[in-house]
Amino acid sequence: MKTTVLHLNGKINWIIVTLLLTFSVSQAQISGNQIYGNNSYNGNNYNQGNLPNNAVVSINDNHLTVTVKLLQNKKADGFVITLGLNEEDETVSGCSKKINARIDGYLDKIKTLGIKKENVYIDFISQTKIYDFEVSGLNSEQVDKGFEIKKNIIITTSNVNSLEKLIALASDFEIHDVIKVDYYNSDTNAIHNALFDEALVLAEAKKIRYMKSFGKRIVGTPNATEEFATVFPETQYKTYQAFETAEIQTNYNNRSPYLKKIARKNKTFYYDGISSAGFDKVINPNQTEVGIQYVLTLTMTYKIDTSI
């Protein structure tokens, strides 16, 4: 989240003291296996309770404070998918040959999807020795079994429809680990500026309405505080399990104990973005495709003429 403190002088002379714009990426609607990294996966959700300010107006004899809150839903224009694979062999050279053959075959295959060489990066993750145990009678001995090499394939694409095709083709080369799918927008600055301009218009309208309603007059120039947040879907996924189960009474005194096996219950993961409630304006409120959400909160403080 970025916080900007503004001091207004003259007609509309805005001096931005601090403006921190960060560029980061997040997962697409194909979330990847990273969603299993959090047991509940909703502990860090950016929800209404975490929003920087409420859309409120306060007025007293000395000051009028106006808060404007905007939300924009926007589709991503770029995606970064990360796939993981590993290979084992008795020698390092054997591992390297096997894993590189799989990678080269996969990269040749995805050319049909328009993926160019410059859109792919191979990340060498690790090279480790493998040990196992050999059992002889009542004795076991740890022995050297060879080596394992792990690599990640990182692919950039601007076509959301190619993501599932990339995953499907990867399975042909025994690449099954979809680590994550990040996504981004390249025009974050333009989005920020447009939201800021819209917030100024709404704040001015609120100021005029309240000054007229309470018969007050503004003097001097206002101060303002701005907060701009980029909210990515990776923090907005939730999970639940829906099932009913029976209870079993266990008899510990029974000389013929039984083993109770618990059936696997399916977990449902779903995207739960920021609600549009409480905002002065929501841009693209009915967007169904999972995308990036932008929140801008502008708080304006005006000095009231106390001589009236």
Please report the pLDDT score of residue 134 as a whole number: 86
CA distance readout (Å), 238 to 143, 166, 181, 273: 44, 26, 17, 10
What's the token pair of residue 262?
Answer: 């618990």
6, 7, 8, 9 alpha-carbon torsion, rounded to 10°:
-150
Amino acid at the residue 70 = L
∠ CA 53-55-61, rounded to 5° = 100
Q: What pLDDT does residue 15 have?
A: 32
Given a cut of 50, whether residue 14 has pLDDT beyond it is no
Sign of CA dihedral 252, 256, 261, 262: negative
Quick one: tokens of 244? 């009913």
Average pLDDT rounded to a whole number, residues 95-111: 97
Band of residue 254 on the pLDDT scale cut at 50, 70, 90: low
The number of residues making up the chain comes to: 308
Residue for token digits 């005006």?
Answer: 302
Nearest CA among 98, 158, 302 for reference residue 220: 302
Q: Quick one: pLDDT band at residue 264, thresholds 50, 70, 90?
A: confident
Residue 234 clears pLDDT 80, i.e. is over it: yes
Task: Sketch out the chain's domains with CATH numbers.
Answer: 2-31+42-76+185-304 (no CATH), 78-182 (3.30.70.2970)
Per the CB < 8 A criterion, the answer to whether 84 and 34 are in contact is no
The position carrying tokens 């002379």 is 13
Q: Which residues pair with 8 in a beta bridge?
A: 14
The CA distance from 69 to 279, in Å, is 5
**pLDDT given for residue 52 in this prediction:** 46
Tell me the three-class secondary structure of 218-281, residue by residue: EEEEEEEEEEEEEECHHHCEEEECCCCCCCCCCCCCCCCCCCCCCCCCCCEEEECCCCCCCCCE
> In this predicted model, what pLDDT tens digit does every residue of 129-178 receive, in sequence order?
999 888 888 888 888 889 999 999 999 999 989 999 999 999 999 999 99
pLDDT at 44 over 60: no
Tell me the average pLDDT of the chain: 82
Higher pLDDT, 38 or 83: 83
Average pLDDT over residues 261-282: 88
Range name among 62-66, 146-150, 281-285 with the lowest pLDDT average: 62-66
**pLDDT attached to residue 62:** 83
Residue scoring higher pLDDT (233 or 47): 233
Q: Convert the pLDDT of each residue in 75-90 to its tens digit.
A: 999 999 999 999 999 9
6 versus 57: the higher-pLDDT residue is 57
- pLDDT value at position 189? 95
How many Å apart are CA 200 and CA 14, to the nearest integer? Answer: 11
